[in-house]
Amino acid sequence: MGQPQHINPLLSASNDVDADIAKIIYNGLLKYDGKGTLIPDLAESYEISEDKTTYTFRLKKNVTWHDGTTFSARDVLFTFNLITDPFYKSPLRSNWQGVTANLIDDSTITFVTSPYAGFLNNVTFGILPQHIWDDVKPDNFPLTQLNLEPIGTGPFKYNAFQKDSKGNILSYKLVANPNFFEGKSYLSKITFNFYTDEESALDAYNRKEIMGMGTISSRKIVEIKNQKSSFLHSSSIPRYSAVFLNQSKSLPLAEDKVREALNLATDRDELVKIVLNGKGSPIYSPILPGMIGYSVDLGKINFELEKAKELLESSGWKMSDEGFRKKNDKVLEISLATTDWDEFSKSAEILKTQWAKIGVKVNINSLSVSDIQQNYIRPREYEALLFGQVLGAEPDLYSFWHSAQKKDPGLNLALFGDSDTDKLVEDARVEFDREKRANFYADFQKKLVEEVPAIFLCSPEYIYPVNKKVQGIDATNLVAPSERFSNVSKWFINTKRVWK
């Protein structure tokens, strides 16, 4: 669902369509296997210095780009320089502040950094070919046709795409890379089709126009007609949904008791039951089960309507004849922006009903993903935003919760953070002792509980239906949705009997 815009690993983080295709076309120094474990990709091996500041990567030597040019460490250095250059506006830049790269030879590169516990997770970024991108200037970086006609080192390479009369991309075709360094893929081609919403994608799946969907909401599973010929792949994923509150755009949301009342009036169990069909769990912070620093009780808040009403009453918000609360003739009214995806649209409607019970009026703006990204998220033009975030392998909160990330391309959607919380985030990043790191995360969560910059809702399972004819998919623990393609070169359809 959606449209490819930047099939470019330096720009693809905010668009699942881009990230999926980029994962197949590009490679990083390291990658995640189907269990979420880091393994070598373009790197043959790596070493870490005793003081945890120098990482030396030795690269595989049998790698070529899709156009036949030889891959080298110069491409890695070139890509690193683009990421760290602020003029190219890569959302990955925040992960590389204070890091220097040194080219040792064509197959060896080192990164020097201050100690950072999650550093190896960062070197999974896709490498760009210097000989192709060298002449692209920063202003043209997000606009160049190379973002739709990429050249990488991955198991599949770009072949063609089709557009309709309005310029929308309908399909995008990849073909097997015969010179892939891990051996030629079993599949000869993969074609992505694009749809405006989940209903049209599911209709195409039911008509057997496509053999798999990128994802499906749990509520729509019952609408799959060919259940016997489908396999529902289900994976855990460090993803959650939340309502991010922009206090600078709403006077009511700037009041502590209003935010606290909304938190108390949120029935997360109802959301999990109705929206996720039970396939997920309620959450109360961005530290999810299985992550360092997670505690089942930390930040947990009970659903208490009466207490929420008392908070609003005590802060001067009185019920009016219209059924909503007012203070000084101002209605307690919130504009809630979200995407038009079924999961979020349904969640928004349920929240509207739940919060109406305490006298809060909610106006829902349900928008396309591209609209909400360009016109709401990037300029931070929203009062409340119902959206999802994918954390990655480590619970590194910097991109999402450090005050330096309040503006685009940062991902601090709640515009949260001060010197105290920033220090907790920074200290956790450089602490290699797991117990001490867990304590930093615990203290950070306590700050979140006190200030309620966001209302955390639930963490869904990641479910994607694929025709049973497609075999070899082995991902069970995904770091991000695109990681389901981690072993795509081993996917297969055709088999034959052979004499042994």
Amino acid letter for position 227: Q
Query: Which is it for strands 230-235 and 462-467: parallel, antiparallel or unpaired?
Result: antiparallel
> What domains are there in the chain, each with its CATH number?
239-460 (3.10.105.10)
The C-alpha atoms of residue 12 and residue 147 are separated, in whole angstroms, by 10
Model confidence over 15-56: pLDDT tens digits? 889 999 999 999 999 999 888 889 999 999 999 999 999 999
Please state, for a pLDDT cut of 90, what percent of the chain lies above it.
76
Model confidence over 272-319: pLDDT tens digits? 999 998 888 999 999 988 788 888 888 889 999 999 999 999 999 999
Alpha-carbon separation of residue 191 from 115, 157, 197, 224, 339 (angstroms): 42, 11, 18, 21, 25
Instruction: Give the pLDDT of residue 306.
Output: 97
Beta carbons of 312 and 361 less than 8 angstroms apart: no
User: Residue 405 is encoded by which pair of tokens?
Assistant: 């990330």
What residues pair up with 45 in beta bridges, in sequence order?
58
pLDDT at 474 over 90: no
Model confidence over 244-278: pLDDT tens digits? 999 999 999 999 999 999 999 999 999 999 999 88
The C-alpha atoms of residue 144 and residue 264 are separated, in whole angstroms, by 48
Instruction: Give the pLDDT of residue 95.
Output: 84
Beta sheet of 325-327, edge-to-edge order: 318-319, 325-327, 330-331
Q: Residue 334, SS3?
A: strand
Residue recorded with tokens 């449209």:
3
Instruction: Report, as an integer, the average pLDDT of 1-19.
Output: 92
Residue 106: how many CA atoms within 13 Å on its side-chain side? 6
Instruction: Give the pLDDT of residue 410.
Output: 84
Instruction: Give the pLDDT of residue 234.
Output: 85
Instruction: Give the pLDDT of residue 397.
Output: 87
pLDDT at 116 over 90: no
Instruction: Report, as an integer, the average pLDDT of 215-232.
Output: 87
Of 414, 481, 490, 418, the residue nearest 454 (C-alpha)? 414
Amino acid letter for position 3: Q
Instruction: Report, as an integer, the average pLDDT of 78-91.
Output: 95
Instruction: Give the pLDDT of residue 49.
Output: 94
pTM: 0.75
Alpha-carbon separation of residue 139 from 89, 143, 154, 413 (angstroms): 10, 8, 27, 25
